[in-house]
Amino acid sequence: MKNVYYVGSDELTFELIERIINENLKLELAPEAKERIQKCRDYLDKKTVESAEPLYGITTGFGSLCSKNISQDEVGILQENLIKSHACSVGEEIRPVIIKLMLLLKAHALSLGHSGVQVITVQRILDFFNNDVMPIVYDRGSLGASGDLAPLANLFLPLIGVGDVYYKGKKREAISVLDEFGWEPVKLMSKEGLALLNGTQFMSANGVFAILKAFRLSKKADLIAALSLEAFDGRIDPFMDCIQQIRPHKGQIETGENVRKLLEGSELIACPGKHVQDPYSFRCVPQVHGATKDAIRYVSSVLLTEINSVTDNPTIFPDEDRIISGGNFHGQPLAISYDFLGIALAELGNISERRIAQLIMGLRGLPEFLVANPGLNSGFMIPQYAAASMVSQNKMYCYAASSDSIVSSNGQEDHVSMGANAATKLFRIMDNLEHILAIELMNAAQGIDFRRPQKTSPILERFLCEYRKEVPFVKDDIVMYKEIHKTVAFLSRTKFDY
């Protein structure tokens, strides 16, 4: 069926995830996934009865309580208690799209058949996804080491009829929504609470959302930089392919190609250059924007591996007759990558703010602060302040979360990744970046209007035409924050096909 994706039928890709979310595809368990899940569950049931050895988290307590044995008739209670006691996420509610991504990624990980869950448990996760029953999860509380324990506990409380959900726009007790659908609370069996709570799905879901946005922001940054180059009467030479090829970083080559394509047919760029060279914020766009592209590409490869992995613990290998207590839940690969991505995205804002500053200095025939009558008018003086403030704030957010660790679980969990913190601060960096790029677009468009009647390239003229329908040329001082907000909204919904 066209509007259905069969979980466990293939590896997830970013393109597929975008389709699932944007086209509202329904999820079903692939037949082969059901077989894998059931095979692992059957093996675990048999092993639990036969094993004379304690099995971590299955017939023992958790963390530093791993030496406490649990009787067979209490293993289900153990798993329910785990979810209830671990539901400690706090802070701001996570947006619904992240919740849906968490449900999708957890269902996919469990479908790989190494977690020992029941088929009904995975099916109920899909039921929540398909019917927009959104468990309420908060953005703080995960150390990113035994997986995302606290947020995943909040996510899966409703499976056992506890906690709160949003359904049809209203906050409701989970049990009332289960009753409305005729769903019984899932009766957890051995190991299932661990399978649900151990894992990196909070980090991963935030990362997927961030990486998809990062791809778009990188493209927007190239387009806006090209507009600024035109407004500043800059040179095309640093974007020529020959100079990229003798230092052939993939992102650098791609950025040079993007800007050349964007400026093709421009009257402004075709004029003989009056200046020998441009400041670094213009001249080094291929190198700086390109390095960010390479970082995004690297982080996306790490994340793609992660979302197609088994990250709970212990891990069950029916064919090898092994149950291994390991560390696949540890978020270090993501934590380091997200810190790297945060730095890379912050640099797009850093160089953008410098182009903003160059455009308001009264250089190269442009009026000071980009208004015809500076003095009486402050023009674009203070938007640069706002951009500078956000650039500085992003530097603060670029502190490496992954360089920190706090001992937990009475010393048993003595090194943690802080990957969840690395993931959530990405959103603050990206929000600032969007606003910085919006301010640069305002400046660049204003600067190009001062170059009239000369025109930029056809593709950029079409873009500016659409932009000017919403944000006008500033002749005399107006309330600027409204124009910044309108520009952010314009950038957010406008597609960039070049």
Residues 179-187 have a mean pLDDT of 96
pLDDT of residue 410: 82
Number of residues that make up the chain: 498
Distance CA 110, CA 156 (A): 14
Q: Is 45 exposed, middle or buried (0-12, 13-18, 19+ CB in 10 A)?
A: middle
pLDDT of residue 373: 85
Question: Quick one: DSSP state of residue 66?
Answer: T
pLDDT digits (tens, 9 = 90+) for 216-268: 999 999 999 999 999 999 999 999 999 999 999 999 999 999 999 999 999 99
C-alpha dist (Å) from residue 165 to 173, 392, 429: 6, 37, 29
Is 56 an active-site residue? yes
Distance CA 207, CA 205 (A): 5
pLDDT of residue 300: 98
CA dihedral 393, 398, 399, 405 (to 10 degrees): 130
pLDDT of residue 73: 67
Averaged pLDDT score across all residues of the chain:
94
Distance CA 191, CA 324 (A): 13
Question: Quick one: DSSP state of residue 94?
Answer: P
C-alpha dist (Å) from residue 163 to 18, 132, 172: 29, 16, 9
pLDDT of residue 255: 98
Distance CA 197, CA 192 (A): 9
119-130 and 96-110 helices cross at what angle (nearest 10)?
A: 160
Distance CA 191, CA 41 (A): 10
Q: Kindly indicate the confidence band of residue 1, based on its pLDDT and cuts at 50, 70 and 90.
A: low
pLDDT of residue 273: 73
Identify the active-site residue in 43, 56, 167, 467. Answer: 56
Range with lowest mean pLDDT among 21-25, 91-95, 411-415, 444-448: 411-415
Residues 179-201 have a mean pLDDT of 95
CATH code of the domain occupying 206-493:
1.20.200.10
Nearest to 492, CA basis, from 204, 99, 208, 219: 219
What residues have CB less than 8 Å from 227, skipping those under 6 apart? 441, 444, 445, 448, 456, 460, 463, 464
Nearest to 225, CA basis, from 285, 305, 179, 173: 285
C-alpha dist (Å) from residue 306 to 38, 240, 389: 23, 37, 35
Distance CA 79, CA 68 (A): 14
Nearest to 439, CA basis, from 488, 482, 378: 488
CB atoms near residue 203 (< 10 Å): 33
Question: What's the token pair of residue 54?
Answer: 């304690």
Query: Can you list the alpha helix ranges (DSSP code H) found in 51-95?
Result: 75-86
Q: Kindly indicate the confidence band of residue 49, based on its pLDDT and cuts at 50, 70 and 90.
A: confident
pLDDT of residue 68: 64
Residues 390-415 have a mean pLDDT of 91
Bond prior to 314 in cis (omega within 30° of 0): yes
The residue assigned the tokens 């798993």 is 79
Q: Kindly indicate the confidence band of residue 147, based on its pLDDT and cuts at 50, 70 and 90.
A: confident
Comparison of pLDDT for 328 and 53, the residue scoring more: 328
pLDDT digits (tens, 9 = 90+) for 353-392: 999 999 999 999 999 999 988 888 999 999 999 999 999 9
Q: Residue 440 above 80 pLDDT?
A: yes
Record: fold of 4-199: Fumarase C; Chain B, domain 1 (1.10.275)
pLDDT of residue 188: 94
What residues have CB less than 8 Å from 125, skipping those under 6 apart? 103, 106, 107, 110, 156, 159
Range with lowest mean pLDDT among 70-79, 166-175, 221-230: 70-79
Q: Kindly indicate the confidence band of residue 159, based on its pLDDT and cuts at 50, 70 and 90.
A: very high
Q: Residue 74 above 80 pLDDT?
A: no
Interior/surface letters 319-357, b for 16+ CB within 10 angstroms, e for the rest: eeeebeeeebbbbbbbbbbbbbbbbbbbbbbbbbbbbbe
pTM summary value: 0.93
DSSP string, 343-374: HHHHHHHHHHHHHHHHHTS--TTPPGGG-SSB
Whether residue 369 contacts residue 377, with contact meaning beta carbons closer than 8 Å, is answered with: yes
Distance CA 206, CA 102 (A): 8
Nearest to 239, CA basis, from 224, 252, 220, 251: 252
Q: Give the residue extent of every domain in the chain.
A: 4-199, 206-493
pLDDT of residue 105: 98
Q: Is 14 exposed, middle or buried (0-12, 13-18, 19+ CB in 10 A)?
A: middle
Q: Residue 43 above 70 pLDDT?
A: yes
Question: What's the token pair of residue 286?
Answer: 């291929």
Bond prior to 453 in cis (omega within 30° of 0): yes
Question: What's the token pair of residue 315?
Answer: 């891990």
The residue assigned the tokens 């079903």 is 28
Range with lowest mean pLDDT among 49-58, 90-99, 113-122, 430-439: 49-58
Residue 368 Cα to chain centre, angstroms: 38
DSSP string, 164-192: EEEETTEEEEHHHHHHHHTPPPP---TTH
Q: Kindly indicate the confidence band of residue 494, based on its pLDDT and cuts at 50, 70 and 90.
A: confident
pLDDT digits (tens, 9 = 90+) for 484-493: 999 999 999 9
pLDDT of residue 71: 67
Q: Report the relative pairing of strands 4-7 and 26-29 from DSSP bridges.
A: parallel
Phi-psi region of 66 (alpha: psi -120 to 50; beta: other; left: phi over 0): alpha
